[in-house]
Amino acid sequence: MEETPARLADKPSWLLTQLAVHAHRLASEGFVEAGARGYHYRVLAALDEFGVASQAELGRRCNMDRSDVVAAVTELEERGFVDRAQDPKDRRRNTVMVTELGRTQLCRLDRALDQAQDDLLGPLSEQDRQTLTRLLGVLLAHHQRD
C-alpha cells in the first residue's frame, strides 16, 4: 500500500473524507444484509419519529431528492413497510405512513447501523466516541447555517 504524503495525512478534511468512505461502506453492507438501502432507513426513521408525512416532507427531512423519495417509498410500499395514500386535503400529493412491518424492519436496520458504528469506531473508547460525535455535530451545525 502506498503512503499518503504527510502534508495531506494530517489534514482533518482528508481524514474525514477517507473515513466517510469507510463509514458509507460499512453502513451499506449492513443495510444490504438486512435487505435494504440507506434511503430506506432514512424514510422509515423519519416516519417513525415524526409520523405521517407527504413525500415532499420526507424529502426535506431526509435530505433526499424527490425522485429518490418516490423510488424509496415505492420499494418500501411493495414490501409492506409503508402505506401510501392520496392526501384527502390535496389530491395532488401522497401521504406516507410506516406500518408495523416497517417498524420491525427499522429495528433490523437500527441493529445493522449500530454494528457499522461499532466497526467504524472500534479503536475508540466510549468517551472518545461521544467526544467525536459531539465535535462532528458542532462542525455540521456550523456549516449547515450557511
62 assigned to some structural domain: yes
Phi-psi region of 54 (alpha: psi -120 to 50; beta: other; left: phi over 0): beta
Confidence of residue 44 (pLDDT cuts 50, 70, 90): very high
pLDDT in tens, 63-86: 999 999 999 999 999 999 999 998
> CATH number, domain at 65?
1.10.10.10
pTM recorded for the entire structure: 0.88
pLDDT in tens, 91-131: 888 899 999 999 999 999 999 999 999 999 999 999 999 99
Question: What total number of domains does the chain contain?
Answer: 1
Cβ atoms of residues 62 and 43 within 8 Å: yes
20 assigned to some structural domain: no
Q: How far apart are CA 107 and CA 48, in angstroms?
A: 11
108 assigned to some structural domain: yes
67 assigned to some structural domain: yes
Phi-psi region of 49 (alpha: psi -120 to 50; beta: other; left: phi over 0): alpha
17 assigned to some structural domain: no
pLDDT in tens, 28-41: 999 999 999 999 99
